[in-house]
Each structure stands twice: as structure tokens, then as C-alpha cells.
């Protein structure tokens, strides 16, 4: 296991815990490279017997504010495809879901779009008053990715998942905790330390039993995410060519409601 994987730094903490920190402050926008680096990091941690749990955190104001639609760079959700409809970004996401060690995510600030998907990859999430979670894809004239069409319903149920998907609304930390999107609610200043505390409590237990229990509680999760990201990729690909998507990206970057035409 290395200390650095691109913009992801790794620190071995006391109590058999590894802290994996995304270092793209303040917003920690994601792209294909970041998710690939995280997957490489997690796979290496799986080989480390001395590490029994992971804290996933981020430097700066936000956990992961999604794709950077305000820049001229292409959105991470819109990576250039091969002849296949499948987005290669989601192959890296599936690699993350295949990893074996329990993950506790410290969610300060925003977890938006694919950043929300990354947060839901974790087993547990620590939230705070500053937490904001949103699957705002419809506001972009787009549909969800990163396996959210499977993971969000799995956590909050079909009705609440539909509500978030079809409104694109944002939920705060209190609501996230009430709905089960957050497992612990704490002060803004103690999000990371609370995540470390929970990861340490997990890591006190027998490592093989932890891996076995995690697999039993998340049976075939990576395979399910692989299946739904194939559909997500296909739907995103054709919507990418619509006028509504172009308008949605422009509207979000300008922080205004979209003027959609259904074309």
C-alpha cells in the first residue's frame, strides 16, 4: 500500500484503520482518474492484513461536489465512450464496490451527483449540519449514474429514492440522518473524528468475520451495480445529445432553473 494514489492520500491510523483522503479542495470534484485512484487504493488495502476498516474523507469544504460543470472541462459523468455505450468511469466504480474492507465516509458539505454515488458506496456515513446530498441529474437533463439507481433505493426505499431522483431536491444533514442516508449525526467540526471513532470500533473485531459479514449484508452488490451502470450509461449517452441536457448544464453552471423544451 502506498501513501499516495494521485489525489488520494493514505494514512495508517491507530487501531487497524486506514484514512483515505481526497485532496482536491475545496470542492473535490471527481473524474475518471480520481475514481480509478480510489479503486487502486482500496484494492491495495484489501491486501493489507493489518488494515481492517477504511475512513473515506476529503480535504476542504465539500466531500465531493460532483462534476465541475462551471469549468470548460468535460464532466466526469460524460467521459468519452468506446464503441460500447458503457461509461468507463463506472467500471472503476464497480471496482470500488468489489473491495472487501468496511468503509466509513465522513460527509462534510456537499455530496452531489456522482459524489453522492461515491458516498453511498460506503457502508456507513457520518453527517453534520453542513451536509448536503443531492441526486440533481434531472436538473441537468440527465439521469443518475454511479449505481445510484440501485444503491439509493436500497438505503431509503423506492418512494424516497423516486422523490430525490424526480425532484433533484437537496437534503440536509438532519434529513439525511432521519432517512438513513447518514448513520451518525455530529457537529461540523467532528465529522472526521467521529468517522474515525466508528471505523476504529469496527476494526476492533475479527477481520475475517468482518469481511464475511459485509459480504452477507451486501450480497452481489458489485454485480448489481455493474448491471445498473450498464443501463445508466446507455440512458446517459442518448440524453447527452439532447438540447435539454445542454440547457441543464448551462443552467446549473449559472445557478438558475433550466428552460427545458423536451428536445
Full set of structural domains in the chain with CATH? 4-188+207-214 (3.90.226.10)
User: Is 176's pLDDT higher than 60?
Assistant: yes
User: With contact defined as beta carbons under 8 Å apart, do 93 and 149 qualify?
Assistant: no
User: With contact defined as beta carbons under 8 Å apart, do 140 and 158 qualify?
Assistant: no
Q: What is the pTM of this model?
A: 0.94
**For all residues of the chain together, what is the average pLDDT?**
94
pLDDT digits (tens, 9 = 90+) for 91-117: 999 999 999 999 999 999 999 999 999
DSSP 64: B
d(CA 129, CA 41): 29
The whole-number average pLDDT for the span 62-90 is: 71
Q: How many angstroms from the chain centroid is the CA of residue 205?
A: 26
User: Is 1's pLDDT higher than 60?
Assistant: yes
The whole-number average pLDDT for the span 211-233 is: 97
pLDDT at 55: 98
User: What percentage of the chain carries pLDDT values higher than 90?
Assistant: 90
User: Is 17's pLDDT higher than 50?
Assistant: yes
Q: Which of 133, 147, 145 is nearest to 63 (CA)?
A: 133
185 three-class SS: strand
User: Is 18's pLDDT higher than 50?
Assistant: yes
The whole-number average pLDDT for the span 210-219 is: 96
User: Is 247's pLDDT higher than 80?
Assistant: yes
Q: Which residues of 170-181 are buried (b: 16+ CB within 10 A; e: fewer)?
A: ebebebbbeeeb
pLDDT at 76: 52
User: With contact defined as beta carbons under 8 Å apart, do 75 and 137 qualify?
Assistant: no
77 three-class SS: helix
Q: Which of 138, 128, 259, 112 is nearest to 193 (CA)?
A: 128
The whole-number average pLDDT for the span 161-184 is: 98
CB count in 10 Å sphere of residue 51: 20
- Split at pLDDT 50, 70, 90, the class of 73 is very low
pLDDT at 85: 83
pLDDT at 83: 57
User: With contact defined as beta carbons under 8 Å apart, do 111 and 170 qualify?
Assistant: no
Strand residue runs (E) in 202-243: none
The grid coordinates listed for 259 are 428552460
- Split at pLDDT 50, 70, 90, the class of 71 is low
pLDDT at 5: 98
The whole-number average pLDDT for the span 26-42 is: 97
Amino acid at each position: 500500500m502506498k501513501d499516495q494514489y494521485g489525489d488520494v492520500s493514505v494514512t495508517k491510523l491507530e487501531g487497524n484503520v486506514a484514512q483515505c483522503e481526497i485532496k482536491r479542495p475545496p470542492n473535490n470534484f471527481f473524474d475518471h482518474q480520481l475514481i480509478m485512484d480510489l479503486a487502486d487504493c482500496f484494492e491495495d488495502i484489501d491486501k493489507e492484513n493489518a488494515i481492517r476498516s477504511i475512513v473515506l474523507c476529503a480535504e476542504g469544504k465539500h466531500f465531493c461536489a460532483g462534476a465541475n460543470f462551471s469549468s470548460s472541462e468535460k464532466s466526469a459523468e460524460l467521459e468519452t465512450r468506446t464503441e460500447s455505450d458503457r461509461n468507463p468511469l463506472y467500471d472503476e466504480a464497480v471496482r470500488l464496490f468489489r473491495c472487501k474492507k468496511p468503509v466509513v465516509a465522513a460527509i462534510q458539505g456537499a455530496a452531489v451527483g456522482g459524489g453522492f454515488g461515491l458516498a453511498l458506496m460506503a457502508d456507513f456515513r457520518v453527517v453534520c449540519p453542513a451536509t448536503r446530498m443531492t441526486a440533481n441529474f434531472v436538473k441537468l437533463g440527465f439521469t443518475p449514474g454511479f449505481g445510484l439507481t440501485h444503491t439509493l433505493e436500497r438505503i431509503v426505499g423506492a418512494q424516497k429514492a423516486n422523490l430525490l431522483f424526480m425532484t433533484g431536491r437537496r437534503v440536509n444533514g438532519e434529513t439525511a440522518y432521519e432517512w438513513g442516508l447518514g448513520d451518525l449525526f455530529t457537529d461540523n467540526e467532528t465529522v472526521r473524528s467521529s468517522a474515525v471513532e466508528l471505523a476504529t470500533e469496527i476494526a476492533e473485531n475479527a477481520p475475517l468475520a468482518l469481511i464475511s459479514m459485509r459480504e452477507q449484508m451486501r450480497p452481489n452488490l458489485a454485480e448489481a451495480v455493474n448491471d445498473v451502470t450498464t443501463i445508466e450509461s446507455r440512458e446517459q449517452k442518448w440524453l447527452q445529445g439532447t438540447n435539454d441536457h445542454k440547457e441543464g448544464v448551462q443552467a446549473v453552471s449559472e445557478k438558475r432553473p433550466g428552460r427545458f423544451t423536451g428536445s
